[in-house]
Amino acid sequence: MTIGSKRILSYPSIRRMPSYLRVLKDLVATDQKDVSATFLAKALGFEPIVVRKDFDPLPITGKSGVGYDIHELIKAIEDHLGWNNITDAFLVGTGNLGSALLGYRGFEQYGVKIVLAFDVDPAKTHQTINDIHVLPIDEFSTMAVRMKVQIGVLAVPAEYAQPIAEQMIKAGIRAIWNFAPVKLVVPENVVVQNEDLAEGLAVLSVKLDRLKTQSVHPIPGDTSPVPENETPDTHPVP
Amino acid sequence: MTIGSKRILSYPSIRRMPSYLRVLKDLVATDQKDVSATFLAKALGFEPIVVRKDFDPLPITGKSGVGYDIHELIKAIEDHLGWNNITDAFLVGTGNLGSALLGYRGFEQYGVKIVLAFDVDPAKTHQTINDIHVLPIDEFSTMAVRMKVQIGVLAVPAEYAQPIAEQMIKAGIRAIWNFAPVKLVVPENVVVQNEDLAEGLAVLSVKLDRLKTQSVHPIPGDTSPVPENETPDTHPVP
DNA sequence: TAGATATCGATGTAAGTATATCGATAAAAG
DNA sequence: CTTTTATCGATATACTTACATCGATATCTA
Ligand SMILES: NC(=O)c1ccc[n+]([C@@H]2O[C@H](COP(=O)([O-])OP(=O)(O)OC[C@H]3O[C@@H](n4cnc5c(N)ncnc54)[C@H](O)[C@@H]3O)[C@@H](O)[C@H]2O)c1
Ligand SMILES: NC(=O)c1ccc[n+]([C@@H]2O[C@H](COP(=O)([O-])OP(=O)(O)OC[C@H]3O[C@@H](n4cnc5c(N)ncnc54)[C@H](O)[C@@H]3O)[C@@H](O)[C@H]2O)c1
């Protein structure tokens, strides 16, 4: 059973990688050279076993009794996610959410940089938000083709999401980060990642409900102070 | 094996519920009375089996050859999620993301209404965003206690997330929707839902990478037009 | 140097999800 | 009224993910 040894991260693993990166990058400032799975687990609220499993497919190896080399680990993760060289992205829809995204400097840490934005509303175009120019949507295709941009961020109202997605794809976009609560219909050679905030809200509601109903039967001699409470995410390979 | 029949939705199911709700509410406008799992599956890109499994724990039943009663289904979902009577929430941090969330009218559809916001920056307080008042953070506790608010939305910079969370909890907050990329340490009787956009970005990166490398070996006689491309989320009960 | 402690990596188990199959039922079509 | 089609619901299977155990190895301490 050694055929094609598993060098592919599962989606749950992939989702945890940004968290690891954050902690690891904080550690770089320290004089530490190595970090243990136990340490990362505690910092992030996972189980140490999960951490080691997550790193298992990466082309690195930890040392017993020591842990993983921090720099090696960071490099391995960034390599796997393709975050070493930052990829340019275009954003469409500079409304509430779109301009929040533009105002966020954090994405560059994750390999993506929004370099141009577009909107249909003349009141919003021909200005800059956080140093990013906002152009009329008509110029999207020209610019996308010229700059060979492959990632598009979709932050328009639901009813315009599909047509804008199609326009993106025609202009060469291969990956769409979709914030509109709509299932986009796209060709096979285009990937979509839907970001639906309502999912998290639904989970929160249910957790709160279940918390209340279960606390009707309180744990006998328990007044422990500071545990945790997380909700993860998983998924099979499409 | 009928002891305590499974009336509990899995987390993946819970995450799909908002999508169902959206489609169902659109259907209400129609004159349709029933909807089949097949229809919902097609509309959302799931498998019909998944849809039926998702509805199985709900206290409703579909009719063979017909489907589910739309109104019954909506009610069952909203009941389960506790979204029938809207719950008030407070938001802290009216920066880029926070004000985007305030500008969004959609959350009420999911049982949560942000009724007050708070910030530490005097330049941002004592104004309204989308008709929601922004107060100084010092007033949080008083207002939370007075209004018996149980849900807090955290949209402050990472370094302030933990202290603000603690302040929320002292004021009676039981559920925190956390947008800061930080693991919050909270007591057992408080639930946290972390919303980490980087997760989705990580998934998108990998999907794009895998798309490119696999397309080196194109599927032989395949030029099918409009398939799909989704990435779901799952998780075990804490 | 010897012993205690921490940690990895491999292997195995359990839990949770997704998917397939099939009989029964309801509506529509002939 | 009979046949066809669509659909649910139950059961079974496969797959993915999380979790547990244990031996081996490295570091630290006495
Ligand atoms: N704001 C939030 O917190 C939030 C939360 C969850 C989901 N969403 C989703 O994100 C999307 C955007 O939300 P928002 O609150 O920013 O809405 P918004 O109305 O504030 O912004 C939408 C922007 O898209 C622009 N636009 C409209 N049609 C366009 C077109 N054809 N081409 C280019 N630009 C166009 C508008 O001019 C506007 O600037 C929506 O689909 C919404 O459902 C938003
Ligand atoms: N903007 C995005 O697109 C985005 C994306 C992902 C994650 N986030 C996360 O969301 C959080 C907010 O991001 P942002 O872009 O809105 O940042 P921001 O700096 O624009 O806004 C932060 C707000 O919090 C306020 N604040 C600071 N300390 C406070 C305190 N002690 N009490 C009350 N208010 C306080 C500030 O005054 C400011 O208004 C951050 O943790 C960020 O990492 C943002």
Q: Map out the domains of chain A with their CATH numbers.
A: 2-81 (1.10.10.10), 87-195 (3.40.50.720)
Res A212: pLDDT: 86
pLDDT greater than 50 at residue A230: no
Is B157's C-beta closer than 6 angstroms to any atom of ligand 2?
yes
CA dihedral B185, B189, B190, B191 (to 10 degrees): 100
Distance from the CA of A97 to the center of ligand 2, in angstroms?
14
CA dihedral B149, B151, B157, B159 (to 10 degrees): 90
CB contact under 8 A, B196 and A112: no
Report residues whose beta carbon is within 6 angstroms of any ligand 1 atom.
A 92-98, 118-121, 124, 137, 155-158, 160, 164, 179-181, 197; B 100-101, 103-104, 106
Say which nucleotide is closest to residue B34, CA to C1' distance.
D7
Q: Shortest CB distance from A208 goes to which of B96, B103, B150? A: B150
Rounded Cα–Cα distance for residues A54 and A37 (Å) = 10
Distance from A104 to chain B by nearest Cα, in Å?
7
pLDDT tier at A5 (50, 70, 90 boundaries)? very low
pLDDT string in tens for chain B (238-residue length): 333 345 789 999 999 999 999 999 999 988 889 999 999 999 999 999 999 999 999 999 999 888 999 999 999 999 999 998 899 999 999 999 999 999 998 999 999 999 999 999 999 999 999 999 999 999 999 999 999 999 999 999 999 999 999 999 999 999 999 999 999 999 999 999 999 999 999 999 999 988 888 665 443 333 333 333 444 443 333 4
**Ligand nearest A195 Cα, by number?**
1
Rounded Cα–Cα distance for residues B132 and B145 (Å) = 18
Residue type, B73: L
CB contact under 8 A, A45 and B183: yes
pLDDT tier at A216 (50, 70, 90 boundaries)? low
Distance from A106 to chain B by nearest Cα, in Å?
9
Decide if B205 touches A, using CB distance below 8 A.
Answer: yes
Residue type, B154: L
Query: Can you give the distance from the CA of residue B82 to the C1' of nucleotide C28 in angstroms?
Result: 38
CB-based contacts of B65: which residues, under 8 Å, 6+ apart?
A: none
Distance from the CA of A138 to the center of ligand 2, in angstroms?
32
pLDDT greater than 60 at residue A25: yes
Tell which strand D nucleotides have any atom below 7 Å from a protein Cβ: 5-10, 15-21, 23-27
Neighbours of A180 (CB within 10 A): 22
Res B49: pLDDT: 93
Residue type, A48: P
Tell which strand C nucleotides have any atom below 7 Å from a protein Cβ: 5-10, 15-21, 23-27
**Ligand nearest A112 Cα, by number?**
2
Is B95's C-beta closer than 6 angstroms to any atom of ligand 2?
yes
CB contact under 8 A, B229 and A188: yes
Residues of chain B neighbouring A225 (CB-CB closer than 8 A): 187
